[in-house]
Amino acid sequence: MKSMMKSTMKSMMKSMMKSMMKSTIKSTMKSMMESTFNAMKSTMKVCCLLLYLRLSSLKPSTFSGLHLSVMIFFFFSRSVCFFPLFCSTWGGEEEKPDPMLLSVIFFLASASAFQWASASSFLWRSACGGQDDIMMSLVWWASISDCSSTRSLFWRFFCMS
């Protein structure tokens, strides 16, 4: 009788732990995805607003800045995406890189490259432009300075230049 109760308790505890772990992992992943999505959504709103204001002024520097941003975006996304493949080929490793890791690296590199390119383009033009450009750059700065790592990288960038 005792052993039967013990095994029943063990199985109940196991199932409870499994369900708790699953729910914890699910809720953590959901909250991470929601916070990332909200941050991306707010950044995209600011970017769209800035893009609209820039394109409505029809300055040639705007189009050249956007063209440069797109070119930097594609260069970084391609180079970072294929870098692990080149390393595994030249290094002689027989192991193929994890496709999920490659897609994550591709997404992070392309997003950060595009963000850096557009931010630097807007900040450079605002340094050469009028008060409206400076205000727009401050809005842009506020939107991307939510993340502490971005803030510290920008601080290093401004101190070095």
Whether pLDDT at 148 is above 50? no
Radius of gyration of the chain (CA): 24
Lowest-confidence region among 93-97, 141-145, 156-160: 156-160
Residue with the larger pLDDT of the pair 71 and 149: 71
The predicted structure's pLDDT at residue 62: 56
Q: What is the mean pLDDT of residues 126-136?
A: 52
Residues 6 or more apart whose CB falls under 8 angstroms from that of 54 comprise 62, 65, 66, 122, 136
Q: What is the mean pLDDT of residues 97-120?
A: 62
Whether pLDDT at 11 is above 70? yes
Which residue blocks in 92-128 are alpha helix, DSSP H?
99-128
The predicted structure's pLDDT at residue 94: 56
What are the sequence ranges of the domains in the chain?
41-160
The predicted structure's pLDDT at residue 8: 73
What gap in Å lies between CA 24 and CA 81, rounded to an integer? 32
What gap in Å lies between CA 26 and CA 100, rounded to an integer? 19
The predicted structure's pLDDT at residue 10: 72
**Residue 154 banded pLDDT, cuts 50, 70, 90:** very low
Q: What is the mean pLDDT of residues 25-45?
A: 62
Q: What's the whole-number average pLDDT of the chain? A: 59
Around Cβ 118, how many Cβ atoms within 10 Å? 22
Residue with the larger pLDDT of the pair 161 and 24: 24
The predicted structure's pLDDT at residue 31: 62
The predicted structure's pLDDT at residue 153: 47
